[in-house]
Amino acid sequence: MGAERAAGSGARRNIGQVLELLREEFPGVTIPKIRFWEDQGLVKPERTAAGYRKFSDADVERLRYIARMQRDHYLPLKVIGEHLDAMDRGLEPPEIESTVPVVPKVAIAADGMPPAETFRRRSDLRVSRRELLKLAEVDEDLLGQLEQFGLVRPLPGTGHYDSDALVIAQTARELADFGLEPRHLRAFKTAADREVGLVEQVVAPLRRGRGETAGARADEAVSEMAALSVKLHATLVKAGLKT
């Protein structure tokens, strides 16, 4: 409601109020993403004497345009920036028309693929070993093998397990029903470690960057790349099973 009151009075909004306005239509927009768009020069909110961002109605509409172009037309930020520059100069943005046949969305839908937001969420779940065995419906032998092969491990210094350990244990138990033992799952761990290494290699220069948006840009890149790597991995497996 705070954002709505600000909108009605014409007052400038802070970044939290802007996110509240955009969240329903664009759930993928986050505060780090808005900061990243600002860092790219796509939006330029006012700054208070204390350095806080204050967004006008025009800024909010600008953010809507950016989010819509990314979501509906998959335009890169550079092209969106060119559109915004034209609009700033009183021109109409170019019409977005497809010059090739359009692929049905169902053909390229990422069925069941986790979005980038999944990799930003952090769970506070902590369970004991006994609770993990019960919740995942695994026995001590299976859990011991999962730990032996590095698939599951307790949180350092606590002896408790997190939600990731619970999902891994549950999934391993379900795969065991098909005859796959923990030793067979080492290949999944090796592949995941390689993907993590690639993401960290790309993101390292961003984390070393200067400015208040460096960390946000790095976090944004990590979540986006993680989601894309899972999508690629799953699609390669799907394609391989067709051959």
CA dihedral sign of residues 215, 220, 225, 230: positive
For the chain, domains (ranges, CATH) are: 2-102 (1.10.1660.10), 119-242 (1.10.1660)
In the predicted structure, residue 107 carries a pLDDT above the cut 50: yes
**Tens of pLDDT, residues 1-47:** 444 434 444 678 999 999 999 988 998 898 988 999 999 999 999 99
Copy the structure tokens of residue 68: 């819509």
Query: Per-residue pLDDT tens for 218-227?
Result: 888 888 888 8
Cα separation, 230 vs 173, in Å, equals: 21
Whether residue 110 contacts residue 103, with contact meaning beta carbons closer than 8 Å, is answered with no
- pLDDT tens for 121-132 read 677 788 999 999
The model carries a pTM of: 0.57
